[in-house]
Amino acid sequence: MRIIVPLQGIVQGRGGLILGSLIPCALLYFFQFYLKRNRSSPPPDSPSASTANLPELTGIPRNSSRTSLPTRGSIRPVPVSSRATAIARDSDSAYYTGWKKYLEDPYHPTSNPDGIIQLGLSENHLSLDLIEEWLAANLQKSLLGEKRGDLSISGLATYEPLGGLMDLKIAMAGFMSQIMGGSVSFNPAQIILTAGATPAIEALSFCLADPGNAFLVPSPYYPGFDRDINLRTGIKLIPVHCRSSNNFSLSIAALEREYKQAKKRRIKVRAVLLCNPSNPVGNILHRETLYDLLSFVTDKNLHLISDEVYAGSTYGTEEFASIAELLDTGAFDNSRVHIIYGLSKDLSLPGFRVGAIYSYNENVISAVSKLTRFCAISLPTQHLLVSMLSDTKFIEEYLKVNRERLAQMYALFVDELKQLGVECFKSSGGFYCWVDMSKFLKSYSVKGELELWENILNVARVVVTPGASCHCIEPGWFRFCFTTVTERDVPLVMKRISKVLKDHKASQ
């Protein structure tokens, strides 16, 4: 405008206005060229040493068109997708940082007693010995399958049916029923098997929502959801905050509020995603809450995804009820409900990659089955698990003993932490304590929480998960997993943490 006005003074009328607009544009245009020409070119690539070793490749002709190519210096690197850039850089969150640090210097009671203790990974190391015993007695039979006498690989090796072997679906249906205490039975034809619960939730998300749509998720929630659900599907997660004042239980009113807010922002909500028993809080949703949820999703015409991977890992006095139980009553349209399950938690087999989707919706079952070609379970593992899960006596014993050990370890952690002046939320399931360290924060904020988290990591050398990673609205809550250490390690854990807590209390 400053250029235009004086020009208008010189050239009266419209001409001045036109010239006044054209001249700055032309100047800018030529300025860009000047800048481009003077930008420094990247250094040429150094030739790889291996070219010297491939005389026979001189036969590959180099086309004369190469001479017409622009010089190497000005070729820009071939861009990758924005998704690749996003995921490659996504290592800043506390959740992943702690994990990485642990891998660099892992604690071992004898060989590395000063190493970093991992309480940030929700894995159950308490009952693997039971499975080892079973394997010692049953492995050969299980790998080959009882039907085959000799080592016939053709059954092991060939392409499997979509969504997994029917035998495994049947075994899984039975296992899920056992987990839920026999209160509900599952139909094998409604199960789709995937290489872990991670691809299960992604595949299901692809089927239920389009990019830009959203799921409502009660928070605090499992940090992995942010990547698992959003990365390739483009689906947003909208946290529905639960508070300590309400025992971190889900309020339908809060759900309504977030739904309305999303609508105002023109974001289409497609589903509510729950984790029950919940991660990281460890509470179990009551039947009434589930009932209210079903009413809510019916009313708003949404899907309901119930991630029940910890269903078999409950230890409190509260009884776990799967959403499937409520659907049995026939009071609700079940075609909108989908359950995620897997063996990584309840059977402590994360390495074997076994997950499942249980749906009542034929179209979803058909679509997700097609998607399993991207994430199918390896056949030898499928055969092994058919055997293991079909041994109902073993499973019953395993579930009972595992629950006892979980209860014991949970109680030990809670007591020990209490002695340090730290209170835990009363959890009923999962592998973790939901710990309130708000009174140790130097400032009651996310910054204060992360400061405490860093000190616990770097000074106490213990990895825990800060509530901020789980989208907890109240600062000061932490998730401590108690299933990756033995009882013998607990005094050391407490000793290390108490030092940091003392420092923090002293500086308040």
Give SS3 for 436.
strand
Q: How far is the CB of 60 from another protein (least distance, A)?
A: 4
* Per CB under 8 A, 304 contacts another protein: no
Cβ 235 to another protein shortest distance, Å? 9
- For another protein, which is the closer residue by CB, 45 or 288? 45
Binders in 71-110 for another protein, by CB under 8 A: 72, 75-78, 80-85, 87-88, 90
Q: Is residue 329 near another protein by the rule CB under 8 A?
A: no
Contacts of 254 (CB under 8 A, 6+ apart): 240, 241, 242
Of residues 181 through 240, those in contact with another protein by CB under 8 A are 195-196, 198-199, 202, 206-211, 213, 227-228, 231-233
| Sheet order of strands, 477-481 included | 423-424, 432-436, 477-481, 465-466
Is 51 a residue that touches another protein (CB under 8 A)? yes
Considering the complex, state which of residue 368 and residue 456 has its C-beta at the smaller distance from another protein: 368
Residue from 35, 38, 40, 45 that binds another protein (CB under 8 A)?
A: 45
CA angle 156, 157, 162 (to 5 degrees): 90
Q: Give which of 175, 182, 156, 204 is closest to 370, Cα–Cα.
A: 204
Options 137-145, 166-174, 286-294, 448-456: segment touching another protein (CB under 8 A): 137-145
Work out how close the CB of 18 gets to another protein at its nearest, in angstroms, rounded to a whole number: 32
Sign of the torsion angle spanned by Cα atoms 437, 438, 442, 445: positive
CB closer to another protein out of 38 and 64: 64
- Residue ranges in 355-384 that form contacts with another protein under rule CB under 8 A: 361, 363-364, 367, 370-371, 373-381, 384
Q: Give dist(CA 270, CA 157) in Å, integer.
A: 39
Nearer to another protein, 133 or 415 (CB): 133
Nearest Cα to 479, choosing from 344, 322, 310, 311?
310
Report in angstroms how near the CB of residue 432 gets to another protein at its nearest.
17
* 55: its two tokens: 């005389």
Q: Which residues pair with 338 in a beta bridge?
A: 305, 359
Closest approach of another protein to the CB of residue 94, in Å: 17
Residue from 158, 317, 419, 507 touching another protein (CB under 8 A): that is 158
Residue 492 found at the interface with another protein (CB under 8 A): no
Phi, psi (deg, nearest 5) at residue 194: -140, 165
Strands 303-307 and 236-241, by their bridges, are unpaired
- Within 145-165, residue ranges assigned H as helices are 153-157
- Is 394 a binding residue for another protein by CB under 8 A? The answer is no
Choices 27-35, 153-161, 430-438, 492-500 (CB under 8 A): range interacting with another protein? 153-161
Quick one: three-class SS letters along 324-355? HHHHCCCCCCHHHEEEEEECCCCCCCHHHCCE
Among 175, 352, 398, 480, contact with another protein (rule: CB under 8 A): 352
